[in-house]
A and B are shown apart, each in its own frame.
Chain A
Amino acid sequence: MHVTGDAVLGENKKERLDSMKRNKPLALVAGAALLTLAACGGGSSDDGETGGGEEREFGGQEGGTKDAERQGPAPEVEGAAAGGTITVYLPGDPGPDTLDPTGGWSVTGNSIQQALTSRSLTQYIRDEEGQPVLVPDLATDLGTPNEDFTEWTFTIRDDATWEDGQPVTAEEVAFGICRSLDSEAFPSGPGTEYSKHYFEGAEDYEGPYTGKDPKCEAWDGISVEGQDITITMSTPFPDMDYWGAFMAMGPAPLGNASKPPNYGQKPLANGPYKVESYKPNEELVLVKNDQWSGDSDPGRHQYADEWVFKFNQDQAKVDEIMLSGNSDSQTAVSTALGSGNYNDANSQLGERLVQQTSQCVSTLTPDYNKIKEIEVRKALAYAYPYEDVWISGGEVPGVTRTYANSVMPPGMAGKKEFQVDGEQIKYDPEKAKELLAEAGYGDKPYEITMVYYEVDPLAKDAQDQITKGFEASGFSVKAIPVQESPYNIWLDPDNKVNKTLNLRGVNWCSDWPSGSTMLPPLLKGEAVYNTAFFDEASVNEEMDAIATMPIEEQADAWGALDERIMTEYFPIIPTAFRNDLFVFGEKIGNPTGDGSIGAPNYKDLYVMQ
């Protein structure tokens, strides 16, 4: 799904005049927190120099793995102690609008709830190397598909309980799954994308609330037999086990107890913590759920007594708190770091500053119908001053943004480390001019029309750099300032500004580590976020064909298709892979990131006693 959070696209970091709420949409990530600690002048940290921190680099990443055998309890984290309160600051992040598991589709809400309060069919854990592993959760294994992945059976464990002590039954899980089909009650829930698309009969079923079917009897795509739940699919769905890790694929109390929207205020917890209080956009307090038993859960821990999540915090304020080392900051976690403080944080915090790859790519999308020559599209890639845009947009080159070679982000299964032109495309105005001349546009500047988000000075500064780079490379740029999210322009086919554009952009994150959540949404003809309007019949057919391939061949097939699209058509200019920075207080144990979702690893954190 798309993310904001890029100055080029205009995330309004100051949130001054813009009351628009921007949930950071969900990014499931296969890569993990990676910090390679290159030895750097040992013992020199007290000489007062700012550059004395660690060099952070990308280590090798692998695609996510699965372990269907994993059983509870989860292995203890070394040195972990119980007790204490962990405060999590979420700068510039309004948090989820609702805590209803079925409605959650944001990095913030899902990372918190899936780790602490709301269980689902499957879940991710972080292994010793920092890689995410898909393991069972409420199901006893990762589900059993039939041969062509049109029928999945999950066996629900019998020892999981709600916070009120009642057991979680298979019927309740089935009802929770059924809720995800109600796209009117949960318009921004992930079920609208996956349940609706794959589950048998889902298209015609309005859901338990909209369809006035409170017991979910009118939908026969799911059947419950004892502890077994069987879901039938209308199209083969080999990634059902990944989809099962969304909290939307978890239980909900039957009947009125879980009726939206009230249920979203205080959902019944079945994880190690329950909701104590929740003020949307302000604060969420979680306390221990004494009915949860570690034996029933292969992934979660219950170390801290209490969690306090503070939303919509001011980045500068949080940075000051975290860097001050005072008692407030010792048991606190921050989910972002202002780029300006990166150096200080890097030298002071050591391994308490965690760099987390998020499986996201930033792109520019030249209009395939207007910019027809591949040479011009490549010229644009050479004309884009990558590092200068990152710097002026407030990013740290090589840390929060790195060069990208294709659409599939690093760490995704099947990803190929190819380079379109043999080596990484970097800013090279001469090469861009040559390419333009090859395409026959050598005599006068090639006109580019694009938009930028005027309200954010960072976006304006980044646009200045883009304009500078493009104009030095033989283009002329008309940059149109807009006061709403550029996505509103790009995705509106009737917008008069949009009609004049020949260069757009999208930031995209995967929902799970498969090319199927990256390539088709961006590059299949007619896809909503295909703002390049790239539409090649052979590519579309291959995308359809890969979905029906044997599961073990799919990853490589996506990787190969990624390479083929980029080398043959170059329809999209990947400008960066993205990373997040998390800051942990000095008394927070096991400071790590959760590679599956791009958030702190809430499951394994504890307070040092």
Chain B
Amino acid sequence: MTDEPELDPNSQQAKEIAGKSPMRIALGRLARDKIAVVCALFVLFFIICAVFAGPICSLFGVSLDTPLASERVDGLNSGLPKPAMGPPDGPFTWDHPMGVAPRTGQDNLAYWLHGCRASLMIATTAAIVASLVGVVVGLLSGFLAGTVDKVLSFFIDMFLTVPFLLAALTMAPILNERFNTSDNYGTIQKVSLIVILSLFGWMGTARLIRGEVMSLREREFVQAARVIGMPTSRILFKELLPNLAAPIIISVSLMLPAFVALEAGLAFLGIGVTDGVSWGQMILDAATPLFFREYPQYLWQPMLGVVALVLSLNLLGDAIRDALDPKTRR
């Protein structure tokens, strides 16, 4: 049942615990969770890769620049990399630590690092935006109740009815039509991807928060705050929000891996990022029987990236939830 030894309430240890904030208790629990630590290290690794993608690339002397294809790949050998470029036909080379892509000769390491950056940047931003929207809507709807609750709940339900994939599929050509002559097409694509992801990602958080708020608002401390005449905004942000930290952190930590996977999925379908700098697009290029047979590393690299990142984010999210929930003891 429990791995924490029973303590004498008057002992030194018990007094220390009594002096800890709930957050510190949670962090302490997290630090003792081996899986959580490993996952956190993984996530940290990916974050470092993403943040320092540029410097790491220059460290290895690789870049996103398109080379002339014929310099690096052999057009008469199915477009596979020349032996001097490393696997599959040649030995490992420090010039291209992860090899080069067949057909185009682009450096896999540079694309992997920048793909990681695109993936994390889009997922993080979208998760933050979606949670912000979700929290605000949930707070308002749960606390104000009545008409406001009805209207907001209607919007939550309405957005839940829109099929996400269909909407994303429809948006892609519209955005292209509107912005394809712009010089910042790539940025616009990423921004719109963030908008789409957060537009269809906030409803779960909103519902969760709304439910929590509804149960909290009848509690004594809220009643007391009302009685002494606190303004609604102060009740919302000073009284309710701190009590909602746990569900919010949990929803963000579970939203992140979902968005990473969605970003890759959309890029694979050719409707997210289309400039090739995305794990999903790398998987799309590599997922042919021939390349997988002759050059499996090419598919494994982005695959492992997506799987490892999504898995560690998910497990970390689970661990955070367990740590924050006072009722679970593992």
Q: CB within 8 Å of B: which residues of A? A: 16-17, 50-51, 316, 319-320, 338-343, 385, 387-392, 394-399, 454-455, 457-458, 460-461, 464-465, 467-469, 478, 480-483, 496-497, 500
Q: CB within 8 Å of A: which residues of B? A: 66-70, 73, 75-79, 103-105, 169, 172-173, 176-177, 180-181, 183, 185, 269-271, 274-276, 281, 284-285, 288-291
Q: Is the CB of A465 within 8 A of B177?
A: no
CA distance A39 to B10 in the complex (A): 95
| Residues of chain B lying within 8 A (CB to CB) of residue A480 | 180-181
Name the distance in Å between A63's Cβ and chain B's nearest Cβ.
30
12 contacts across the A-B interface (CB closer than 8 A) = A17-B271, A316-B290, A342-B78, A387-B75, A390-B75, A391-B103, A392-B104, A399-B76, A457-B270, A460-B275, A480-B181, A483-B173
Q: Is the CB of B68 within 8 A of A316?
A: no
Q: Is the CB of B270 within 8 A of A16?
A: yes
Q: In the complex, which of the residues B75, B281, B288 contacts A391, with contact meaning CB atoms closer than 8 Å?
A: B75
Q: Is the CB of A394 within 8 A of B79?
A: yes
Q: Give the residue name and chain of the A residue nearest to B294 (CB).
A: A340
CA distance A50 to B79 in the complex (A): 13
CA distance A270 to B104 in the complex (A): 50
Q: Is the CB of B172 within 8 A of A343?
A: no
| Residues of chain B lying within 8 A (CB to CB) of residue A469 | 68
| Residues of chain A lying within 8 A (CB to CB) of residue B172 | 483
Q: In the complex, which of the residues B73, B180, B281 contacts A481, with contact meaning CB atoms closer than 8 Å?
A: B180
CA distance A568 to B78 in the complex (A): 39
Name the distance in Å between B54's Cβ and chain A's nearest Cβ.
20
Q: Is the CB of A340 within 8 A of B290?
A: yes
**Which of B105, B173, B181, B269 has its CB near the most chain A CB atoms (within 10 A)?**
B181
| Residues of chain B lying within 8 A (CB to CB) of residue A319 | 289-290
Q: In the complex, which of the residues B66, B104, B177, B269 contacts A483, with contact meaning CB atoms closer than 8 Å?
A: B177
Known: A17-B270, A457-B270, A496-B181; 15 extra A-B contacts, CB below 8 A, are A17-B271, A316-B288, A340-B290, A342-B78, A343-B76, A388-B68, A391-B79, A392-B69, A394-B79, A399-B76, A454-B180, A465-B66, A468-B66, A468-B67, A481-B274
Q: In the complex, which of the residues B66, B105, B185, B290 contacts A341, with contact meaning CB atoms closer than 8 Å?
A: B290
Q: Give the residue name and chain of the A residue nearest to B289 (CB).
A: A316
Ordered nearest first, which 8 A-B pairs have the shortest CB separation?
A391-B75, A340-B290, A388-B69, A391-B69, A464-B66, A340-B78, A392-B69, A397-B75
Q: Is the CB of B176 within 8 A of A454?
A: yes
Name the distance in Å between A156's Cβ and chain B's nearest Cβ.
51
| Residues of chain A lying within 8 A (CB to CB) of residue B104 | 392, 461, 464-465
Q: Is the CB of A457 within 8 A of B75?
A: no
Known: A339-B78, A464-B104. A457 touches B69 (CB 8 A): no
Name the distance in Å between A326's Cβ and chain B's nearest Cβ.
16
Q: Is the CB of A388 within 8 A of B270?
A: no
| Residues of chain B lying within 8 A (CB to CB) of residue A392 | 69, 79, 103-105
Q: Is the CB of A51 within 8 A of B77?
A: yes
Name the distance in Å between B187's Cβ and chain A's nearest Cβ.
14
Name the distance in Å between B102's Cβ and chain A's nearest Cβ.
8
| Residues of chain A lying within 8 A (CB to CB) of residue B169 | 17
Name the distance in Å between B170's Cβ and chain A's nearest Cβ.
11
Known: A388-B69, A391-B69, A392-B104. A340 touches B288 (CB 8 A): yes
Q: Is the CB of B271 within 8 A of A396?
A: no
Q: Is the CB of B270 within 8 A of A398?
A: no
| Residues of chain B lying within 8 A (CB to CB) of residue A460 | 274-276
CA distance A58 to B172 in the complex (A): 43
Q: Is the CB of A341 within 8 A of B78?
A: yes
Q: Is the CB of B291 within 8 A of A340?
A: yes
